[in-house]
Homo-oligomer: A and B are copies of this chain.
Amino acid sequence: MNILYDPRLDGVLPDVDRPALIEALRQAAPGLTILHEREQLRPYECDGLSAYRTTPLLAVLPERVEQVAAILRTCRDMGVPVVARGAGTGLSGGALPLAQGVLLVMARFKRILDIHPEGRYARVQPGVRNLAISQAAAPHGLYYAPDPSSQIACSIGGNVAENAGGVHCLKYGLTVHNVLKVEMLTIDAEPVTLGSDALDAAGFDLLALFTGSEGMLGVVTEVTVRLLPRPVVAKVLMASFDDVEKAGRAVGDIIAAGIIPGGLEMMDRLSIHAAEDFIHAGYPLDAEAILLCELDGVESDVDEDCTLVRNVLARAGATEVRQARDEAERARFWAGRKNAFPAVGRISPDYYCMDGTIPRRALPGVLQGIAALSEEYGLRVANVFHAGDGNMHPLILFDANRPGELERAEALGGRILELCVEVGGSITGEHGVGREKINQMCAQFNSDEITFFHAVKAAFDEAGLLNPGKNIPTLHRCAEFGAMHVHHGQLPHPELERF
Contacts and interface: CB of A to CB of B under 8 A. Distances in A.
Contacts of A444: 202-203
B209 A428 contact: no
B456 A452 contact: no
A245 to B, nearest CB: 15
Contacts of A204: 209, 212-213, 453, 456-457, 472
A26 interface: no
A176 B205 contact: yes
B458 A426 contact: no
A53 interface: no
Most buried by B among A209, A424, A429: A209
Interface in A121-137: none
Contacts of A141: 258
A110 to B, nearest CB: 25
Interface stretch (A7-15, A357-365, A408-416): A357-365
A206 B206 CA distance: 10
Contacts of A460: 1, 452, 455
A309 to B, nearest CB: 13
Work out how many copies of this chain go into the complex: 2
A36 interface: no
Contacts of A196: 357, 424-426
Interface in A382-438: 389-391, 420, 424-430, 433, 437
Contacts of A37: none
Given A426-B198, A462-B1, A361 B445 contact: no
Interface of A: 1, 117-120, 141, 163, 165, 174, 176-177, 186, 188, 190, 192-193, 196-206, 208-209, 211-213, 229, 252, 255-256, 258, 297-298, 300-301, 304, 357-361, 389-391, 420, 424-430, 433, 437, 440-441, 444-445, 448-449, 452-453, 455-460, 462, 471-472
Nearest to A473: B203
B456 A199 contact: no
24 contacts: A1-B459, A1-B460, A118-B361, A119-B360, A120-B256, A190-B448, A193-B449, A196-B425, A197-B359, A197-B425, A198-B425, A201-B426, A202-B441, A203-B433, A203-B471, A204-B212, A204-B472, A205-B209, A205-B212, A206-B456, A209-B209, A229-B258, A455-B458, A455-B459
Given A192-B452, A444-B203, A448-B190, A197 B471 contact: no
B456 A458 contact: no
Nearest to A216: B204
Given A120-B256, A202-B441, 8 more contacts: A120-B255, A174-B199, A176-B205, A196-B426, A200-B391, A200-B430, A201-B426, A206-B209
